[in-house]
């Protein structure tokens, strides 16, 4: 129960921070903090957690930012699945791989969004969108992965230690 509440608080705080980012910091770009959360949790906890976080964060993003439900949920779930594939291979203390994965996930998300919506309506050509939106947001997301991953890693470590203590306690065994 404690784990579910903590992870729910992660999602809520990250969503709140992402929603207020344009008001607080006016740089013209909004990093995808929910995607950083999905990649971080998938990298630290595996594919199932990555997909679960991706689905929840994606539905939340769809409800608030998208014209229809399912686009972000699908892409975030896929990103969580792919990032979770590195769970057994790499050390979770290493922040370089989550940085690259968050930037790649952001770039693929923006590229897919461009292909799905901008080309359909014929609004903007590709290269101005690539240089003006996709790459700066991917770089900003990559840079913000460093502090956020550290925070998520700290709390995930505390939860993992607490889970281990519960498993070893003779009073809690069935």
Token output for 81: 């699945």
Q: Is residue 149's pLDDT more than 60?
A: yes
Query: Which of 102, 94, 85 is CA-nearest to residue 46?
Result: 85
Domain coordinates of the chain in residue numbers? Answer: 2-24+31-150
Q: In 10-49, which positions are buried (b, 16+ CB within 10 angstroms) versus exposed (e)? A: bbeebbeebeebeeeeeeebebbbbbbbbbbbbbbbbbeb
CA–CA distance, 165 with 160 (Å, rounded to integer): 9
The answer to whether residue 120 scores a pLDDT higher than 80 is no
CATH code for residues 2-24+31-150: 1.10.1760
What is residue 123's predicted lDDT score, i.e. its pLDDT? 66
The 10s digit of each residue's pLDDT in 65-118 is 888 889 999 999 999 999 999 887 777 677 888 899 999 999 999 998 888 877
More confident residue, 37 or 66: 37
pTM: 0.87
């Amino acid at each position: 129960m404690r784990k579910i509440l903590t992870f729910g608080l992660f999602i809520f705080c990250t969503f709140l921070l992402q929603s207020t980012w344009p008001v607080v910091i006016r740089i013209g770009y909004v990093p995808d903090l929910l995607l950083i959360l999905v990649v971080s949790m998938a990298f630290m906890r595996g594919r199932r957690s990555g997909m679960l976080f991706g689905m929840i964060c994606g539905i939340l993003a769809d409800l608030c930012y998208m014209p229809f439900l399912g686009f972000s949920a699908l892409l975030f779930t896929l990103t969580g699945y792919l990032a979770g594939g590195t769970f057994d291979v790499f050390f979770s203390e290493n922040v370089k791989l989550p940085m690259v994965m968050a930037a790649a996930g952001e770039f693929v998300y923006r590229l897919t969004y461009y292909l799905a919506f901008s080309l359909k309506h014929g609004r903007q050509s590709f290269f101005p969108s690539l240089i003006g939106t996709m790459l700066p947001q991917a770089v900003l997301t990559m840079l913000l992965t460093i502090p956020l991953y550290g925070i998520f890693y700290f709390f995930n470590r505390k939860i993992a230690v607490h889970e281990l203590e519960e498993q070893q306690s003779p009073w809690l065994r069935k």
